[in-house]
Amino acid sequence: MTTLRLGDTAPDFTQESTAGAVHFHEWAGDSWVVLFSHPADFTPVCTTELGKTAALASEFAKRNVKAIAVSVDPLDSHNRWVGDINDTQNTTVNFPILADADKKVANLYDMIHPNASATATVRSVFIIDPRKVIRTTFTYPASTGRNFDEILRVIDSLQLTDAHKVATPANWKDGDDVIIVPSLQDPAEIAQRFPKGYKAVRPYLRITPQPNK
């Protein structure tokens, strides 16, 4: 099995889900996608994670992001579990949960790590851009719930750095200062792109206000 790397095209698939059959690339359309896997239905950490994803629907929407979950349990189990998620997390699940009982998606995305579990998917996250390119991956153990603030922060950074010739420093969050990429050296272009100016801490480390704020 080939491990997916940053810059690879996200594999396409067709799989049943709680929202009907999903033809992945078609379903994604021109949106960003957060595809994330879960070890099993009716488990405590997963329940909180799917509830949090539902609660963040407006945050995902304003970033043009679609969320889609996957676990290797069957569809009838997913449908029963959604009721528990809605009840215990005081939300409404509003995104598909793929029923990957045949492990088609899990195997395409290398979500089963035999040294951790031979049958359950690890907590994988794939952030995929509108060109269907994998831009970020995270992998967590089954015992550790994901930080959704970090997932949103990474999406913010990717979208910002795609649009402007900047990079984001350690612990950056939306609205903080950013770094002008070292490859940008033309003074006229720098002045045009960054009218608020910048501070050159070093020739390669030039700090500027976030350009879209």
pLDDT tens-digit map of 59-93: 999 999 999 999 989 999 999 999 999 999 999 99
Question: pLDDT tens digits, residue range 133-156?
Answer: 999 999 998 889 999 999 999 999
> Domain for residue 7, yes or no?
no
Does 107 share its domain with 136?
yes
Answer yes or no: is pLDDT of 97 > 80: yes
Does 122 have pLDDT greater than 80?
no
Whole domain around residue 110: which residue ranges?
A: 14-147
Residue with tokens 């043009």: 64
Mean pLDDT of 54-60: 97
Specify whether 168 is located in the same domain as 143: no
Domain boundary among 147, 181, 196: 147
The three-class DSSP label of residue 202 is strand
- Please check the confidence at residue 34 and state whether its pLDDT lies above 80: yes
pLDDT band at 2 (very low <50, low <70, confident <90, very high): low
32 and 118 together in one domain: yes
Asked if the model's pLDDT at residue 115 lies above 80, the reply is: no
pLDDT at residue 92, as a whole number: 97
Same domain as 168, residue 139: no
Beta strand residue intervals within the chain, DSSP E: 14-15, 22-23, 32-37, 65-71, 97-99, 123-128, 134-140, 166-167, 178-180, 199-202, 205-208
Q: In what order do the strands lie in the sheet with 123-128?
A: 97-99, 65-71, 32-37, 123-128, 134-140
- What's the structural domain count of the chain? 2
Active site residue 46: yes
Q: What is the pLDDT of residue 142?
A: 82
Task: Indicate if 168 and 134 belong to the same structural domain.
Answer: no
In a domain, 36, yes or no: yes
Residues 52 and 96 in one domain: yes
In a domain, residue 156? The reply is no
Please indicate, yes or no, whether residues 34 and 111 belong to a single structural domain of this protein. Answer: yes
Give Cα 204 to chain centroid, integer Å.
Answer: 30
The one catalytic residue in 22, 28, 34, 46 is: 46
Query: pTM of the entire structure?
Result: 0.94
Give the pLDDT confidence score for residue 3 in this predicted structure. 83
- Are residue 69 and residue 172 in the same domain, yes or no? no
Residue 1 has pLDDT above 70, yes or no: no
For residue 117, name the pLDDT band (cuts at 50, 70, 90).
low
Distance CA 18, CA 71 (A): 11
Query: Residue 7 and residue 4: Cα distance in Å, rounded?
Result: 9
